[in-house]
């Protein structure tokens, strides 16, 4: 998972299409259609009418983490073939990062950790931008 960020840092770093979650479970995103910063309290979802909550003092002292955008195994392999770095997220502690510039032997460590093909194909992958 990514590092904890202040509200100011999340405003600076969050990109359209990304969602961040606070320590208390609130969500924040840049609205794709309007570019507005939208907040959703814990347990709520972003409102479809684009009128989600605005910034208020409750959010000023929150800490946030950008949620990873997971992709399929196939998408990750296509990105890797296009010289992008991909990461397989087995669980919160165990991740494997594959850089295109490194030799192909980097995939060998997956077999030494007893991961099966099904876990890789059905697992969570991210692509570094």
Taking 90 as the threshold, does the pLDDT of residue 107 lie above it? Answer: no
- Residue 25 main-chain phi, psi, to 5 deg: 95, 0
pTM (2 decimals)?
0.66
Pairing, β 63-66 against β 19-22: antiparallel
Per DSSP, the three-state class of 105 is helix
Q: For the segment 29-76, what is each residue's pLDDT rounded down to a tens digit?
A: 887 777 788 887 766 655 554 445 666 777 788 899 998 889 999 999
Q: CB within 8 A of 34, min separation 6: which ones?
A: 50
């Amino acid at each position: 998972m990514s590092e904890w960020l202040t509200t100011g840092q999340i405003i600076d770093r969050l990109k359209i299409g990304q969602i961040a979650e606070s320590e208390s479970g609130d969500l924040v995103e840049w609205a794709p259609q309007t570019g507005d910063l939208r907040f959703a309290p814990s347990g709520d979802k972003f409102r479809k009418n684009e009128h989600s909550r605005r910034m208020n003092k409750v959010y000023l002292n929150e800490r946030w983490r950008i949620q990873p955008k997971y992709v399929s195994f196939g998408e990750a392999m296509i990105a890797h073939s296009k010289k992008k770095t991909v990461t397989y997220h087995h669980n919160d502690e165990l991740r494997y990062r594959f850089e295109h510039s490194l030799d192909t032997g980097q995939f060998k460590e997956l077999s030494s950790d007893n991961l099966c093909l099904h876990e890789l194909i059905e697992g969570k992958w991210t692509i570094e931008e």
